[in-house]
Amino acid sequence: MYRKNAWENYDGEERARLGAFADAYRAFLDRSKTEREAAASAERVCRAAGFQNLDDLIEAGAALMPGDRVYRKWMNKSFMAFVVGSESIERGMRILGAHIDSPRIDVKQNPLFEDDGLAYLDTHYYGGIKKYQWLAMPLALHGVIVKRDGSVVSVAIGEGEDDPVLCITDLLPHLAQDQMAKTASKFIDGEALNILIGSAPAEGDDKDPVKRAVLEVLKRDYGVEEEDFVSAELEAVPAGKARDAGLDRSMLLGYGHDDRVCAYPSLMAVADYEGTPEMTLCAVLADKEEIGSVGASGMNSHFFENTVAELAALMGCEKELSVRRALQNSVMLSSDVSAGYDPTYSGVFEKKNAAMLNLGVCFNKYTGSRGKSGASDANAEFMAEVRRVMDDAGVCWQTSELGKVDVGGGGTIAWLCAKYAMNVIDCGVPVLSMHAPWEIISKADLWEAYKGYCAFLRA
């Protein structure tokens, strides 16, 4: 099937709107390098758009009426936004679901050590990464440190022009004969991803004077002790801002496109909705997708189901059966990225079923690996419905698979939502260099995703 390059459809006015949306997304990406930061950014967007905090309404015992706009931030790591519809929630919702965690390098709970006059943080990588890509590049440290008294210290080191940056060192090629003979997966061990954080010793005859100097900085600047690392969540991410890419500025290079390039337009499609919809609208931005959607803030937990139950109760539907009907009758776009076709690595793609940059938002009927293992595999009737919605709205769209059948595969949150028997299909943006520290997307695909998500909510 032939798909037209999306850029060919734009007049000057739409190009300007596309550019403004891409700029706003780039700003969101820069201030949302962790799931906590992304949830906080989403909350700011919703508050500015007139959404109320659902937890405040629950505490007040308030009733929800058609047209009401509410949000809920869960454990500061996941986020949900709703626009209440005119129909009973038992009729279902129109849901856009994405995730806001990204591959990174986490700091361990007992991380700080000194070795031969250099101080390091010990780490444990998060999600599927090529470990060698994280060597010899500037890193920033983001996260929170929660002290014993419950006070929270926010950390963001390495983003300001005058901030120091951190780094994981690499071996010079002159001495790397044995290292370079290894396969990429063995190029560096996970336990060797130690972040260099200091080299100047503190005064005195301590056993570890450089480590003590680092602790003095932490005490002076953040008021924390070494023991506070136990209750900290610190993430090493690439330092620096997202940038326009290409001489034509048609692309964006940034950290965390997977999956914030889908989370942002999903959120904005709900936040920008005007009026009262028939079905209740929802954007759910989940944590921990990159490690299997586990944990209390991942989609494999009940946080979303519980929130829908709270929402239903405030709408006068307190029976468990009402919640089950609401979820079963919902329809969902699992807003997650797909692997963009890269001619440099064409051998791993089946070209006519690959996601191409600039051809618009892509639908993955199924994900999974090899024999569709782990896939939700949307049914043909729902695929026909979303085709019609996209075509009627003039959205550029394409279908895709992650790669050749026997090469590999991956998964999303789609199958977890399909457990409720709702119709769900993956629908997102093609990404080049996915899971690398810096990923690439097309501004046109971002714009078509937003248009597609808006059309889905209006259908």
Look up the domain containing 35 and give its range.
6-102+255-458
Instruction: Confirm whether 445 is domain-assigned.
Output: yes
Of 208, 238, 268, which one is at a domain's C-terminal end? Answer: 238
Residues 170 and 73 in one domain: no
Are both 31 and 133 inside the same structural domain? no
State the DSSP string of 223-237: ---GGGGGGEEEEEE
Whether 152 and 10 share a structural domain: no
Same domain, 69 and 125: no
Locate 300 and state its tokens.
């494999």
Q: Report whether the peptide linkage leading into residue 445 is cis, meaning its omega lies within 30 degrees of zero.
A: no
From residue 116, alpha-carbon distances to 31, 164, 166, 198, 199 in Å are: 36, 22, 18, 12, 10
- Phi/psi of residue 229, each to 5°? -60, -25
How far apart are the C-alpha atoms of 93 and 328, rounded to whole Å? Answer: 9
State how far the Cα of 330 lies from the Cα of 342, in Å rounded to an integer: 35
Q: 152-211 pLDDT, tens per residue?
A: 999 999 999 999 999 999 999 999 999 999 999 999 999 999 999 999 999 877 789 999
| CATH number of the domain to which 72 belongs | 3.40.630.10
Position 287 in a domain:
yes
- At residue 16, the pLDDT reads 97
Q: Are 417 and 302 in contact (CB under 8 A)?
A: no
Token pair for residue 72?
A: 């809920």
Predicted confidence at residue 4, as pLDDT, reads 87
Note whether 220 and 283 are same-domain residues. no
Q: Which helix (H) or strand (E) holds 334?
A: strand 331-334
Structure-block tokens of residue 320: 């468990």
* 38 domain residue, yes or no: yes
Query: With a cut of 50, which residues of the chain have pLDDT below it?
Result: none
Give the sign of the dihedral formed by CA 133, CA 136, CA 141, CA 142: negative
Positive or negative, the Cα torsion across 160, 156, 226, 236? Answer: negative
Tell me if 272 is assigned to some domain: yes
Q: Are residues 84 and 131 in the same domain?
A: no
Tell me what pLDDT residue 206 has. Answer: 78
Q: Are 101 and 289 in contact (CB under 8 A)?
A: yes
How distant, in Å, are the alpha carbons of 31, 81, 290, 424 from that of 413? 24, 17, 10, 10
Q: Is residue 67 part of a domain?
A: yes
Same domain for 322 and 446, yes or no, is yes
Residue 248: inside a domain: no
Which of these three, 193, 213, 238, is where a domain ends? Answer: 238
Which residue among 238, 272, 302 closes a domain? 238
Q: What is the value of pTM for the model shown?
A: 0.96
Residue 93 burial class via C-beta count within 10 angstroms: exposed 0-12, middle 13-18, buried 19 and up:
buried
Same domain, 147 and 233: yes
Residues 348 and 405 occupy one common structural domain: yes
Instruction: State the Cα angle at 359 between 355 and 365, rounded to 5°.
Output: 45
Same-domain check for residues 281 and 176: no
Domain for residue 244, yes or no? no
| Strand, helix or coil for residue 29 | helix
CATH code of residue 196: 2.30.250.10
Q: Are residues 162 and 287 in the same domain?
A: no
User: DSSP 3-state assignment of 9?
Assistant: helix
- State how many domains the chain has: 2
Q: Name the strand (E) or helix (H) holding 146.
A: strand 139-146
Residue 204: its pLDDT value, please? 79
Q: Do residues 155 and 265 both lie within one domain?
A: no
**Any domain includes 141:** yes
